Structure 1
């Protein structure tokens, strides 16, 4: 996420390395590179220029703080300005209606239907809501089928009307259905449309006027860069939407849309899509995104994701097993499953300060645990619970059964042994304190 932009900004800050004070000369050289990095990331020229001018005003004459070098001070100033440019504070979704009606709008191919499902899943699992998905794409039968597949996948009902070609009627009928059946959120998925298609733009404007949604969201593919910003402006002029959703931020995106869209339409980014899975949705925090763009990681989001998978009862059982030296491969497999639920590995590693930069050229696949799981699944129940019984003959059988090599099996056993010893050591005061801290932090949000 934003690797190229992060690298170029890092090089820009290196210009100040070794200087004892920020001056007009060295700050000009640094900000010239910052502006170039933003332009390369497909940020609008005027926005990039205004951005660097604001940073320059704050930087000139600043003395080096006792705990900061000039380069670090410049990073702080850029981070603060980036945060402000992307919206400053986090913007929540309006769920005040009964039911709350959310209208999804966007271009064809922006990922709107998939994200409607992600949003429904988010509201169901994180906000304890009972959402209803509504299929209002009357032009593409595959979109209605897709929404039904998504709904079945996440356990959310989908409302559609076969043969009805009036999206206004479908949306209105869906809201009546929601009221009669106890749904407290209605998510209306509309047809993708081009901003230049006057007839299609009139149609979504009519749906908007008829159902008076509590929240109108514009879904945009972040990989389209500056085009995404221009399209958002055209849609906003017609719908006056409430917020933006950026999809495909896990792809090879240059970041221009995330950085400049708020400045152009004056509407906040509310959610981002970070992968293909239904759980790959994050609330957009401008300050956290600024940290990630500047290579500082995002520890808060990482801890939050860990807390969502943290089960106090399971943790207590695990503690007892470790204390009795009964921690086996079934327990290890359970821990792997919890990590996988947190998101794709590349995204998680990018949240660790410095890790993203250190591993930028390393290709991290989503199935990074695949061979480990295959090895464990090739073990018998006895072998999983008592790894000490694994002799050469058993290892050979496991390697063949899992499609791996003896070396990979031995490597896993060695790593497992080291991890078991480390977990045993953590059974002391430090480990117990950490468990208590995780328990106390669960449910907290910044």
Structure 2
């Protein structure tokens, strides 16, 4: 063994995929993977920079690693060090800095450091690279479901978001490479893939000559034997057209579960955010999906307390969210991120106002979640079972329907990674539906 390595991931599903890819690279190179605890020789932290709080958590985790073993090599990778390389270079807790688009070189960078013991920085000018970093995984820790990064970068420049500066411009993995990765995952027993990206809707747009886009990618993955479900990561509303919805609804493996990022139900606020749609255009996209699917699970993100959001604008947003009837609504009080336009906007709201508006939308979201789940009671649904869990004191096998409803079943049989038809009976708590085989 070349040494014990502990990894820790912060942030989004794209980061989680990259951390898994780095772990598999380390294992293949002869390193032993250990828990993120004292005793490791090397600590690899894949950082996040989406908010000031994410930056702080990244720094805290890097400092924690150095405290756990002052002699260990601490590797800081990802968005935090990419967005503020100079601050990372001044941090004595960090030995190796690896920016985005350099994680695939982790092993040679690590070997070089172990020879010379000189603080190392490996960062490209992320805003001027067109190269897609081709990380890969052969299996997933979840066994049943694999999150698969197929796209990187963003060209949108929403006024609250630092990610285009940390991830660069849009770049996509070639469809052939995605399909080969999916085939390997299917061979390992994985039955469901979730296609993810920083701006998934722009898949293939930087290479128009290849005639690859998100729809052609989905169609290609749909042909892979062994993969029974295809789930999509966060989508921009603009990608939802009659043609797109008609095409994916004809593919039985595509799950009727769509995360359409909203951010605000008030068009005036959306304009300040530099979101490229109106509230009514967003509503039309939801109606298109409901035309092609009988009861699609629509989920979203909403920011409360964006700079300048008046009581009237918040009420407009709340009323809009109420009218759409989402399955899940992820609520985020606006968090200032230095380096973005929104951070310098006038009329910043107090934490108290942001928190109160979040509380109102969270309560509304819970009502709609229960309403959505209850419509399926009495129906038969296929569940892909994942693990055993204790829910309200009872041991269950749990898994998800195609709509991503959480299902709990009492069973003596090991149901891990099995697809089973069950009848949905009653709600258990807020999140689960009790079912019977």
User: TM-score over 0.5 for the alignment?
Assistant: no
Q: TM-score, normalised by structure 2?
A: 0.26
Q: Identify, as 1 or 2, the structure richer in strand.
A: 2
Give the number of the structure whose alpha-carbon radius of gyration is greater: 1
Q: Identify, as 1 or 2, the structure richer in helix.
A: 1
Q: TM-score, normalised by structure 1?
A: 0.26
